Amino acid sequence: MAFFLTAQDINDIRGHRAPAHTALDEPTLIRKLADVRQEIRNLIIMQMRPGQPAAKVKFLHDMERSARAEEKLRVMALAHYRRQEKPWRLPLPLPVPRPKSRRK
């Protein structure tokens, strides 16, 4: 009979626990979003360098796609945080209607 330990069992034996999910504040979410956007820009520039092997260009393209997916999730996380924090706050300002002119 085989005996297998899971990763959770090993962590329990060692006394380690998985870190609890920590809530992020708005400045942290904004900073992480800015970091991902900078990473996307860097990857685009790295792809433009001439004389690179096709495999490296493909790898960089895949990394860019991954970073864009992360950016999308970070935008959604920031929007979710803002909805939870201030539900009355609209995501985009609504245009203010201008009064009609009385000139004819």
pLDDT of res. 90: 56
Q: What is the DSSP letter of 92?
A: S
Domain extent at residue 70 = 23-85
User: How many domains is the chain partitioned into structurally?
Assistant: 1
- Is 54 among the domain residues? yes
27-59 pLDDT, tens digit per residue, is 899 999 999 999 999 999 999 999 999 999 999
Whether pLDDT at 1 is above 50: no
Q: What pLDDT is attached to residue 53? A: 93
Q: What percent of the chain has pLDDT over 90?
A: 48
State the pTM of this model: 0.62
Rounded Cα distance between 53 and 88, Å, is 52
Q: Is residue 66 part of a domain?
A: yes
Task: Report yes or no on 94 lying in a domain.
Answer: no
Nearest-5° angle of CA 9, CA 15, CA 18? 70
Single-letter residue type at 92: L
pLDDT band (50, 70, 90) for residue 98: low
In a domain, 2, yes or no: no
* Domain presence at residue 98: no
Tell me, yes or no, whether 90 lies in a domain: no
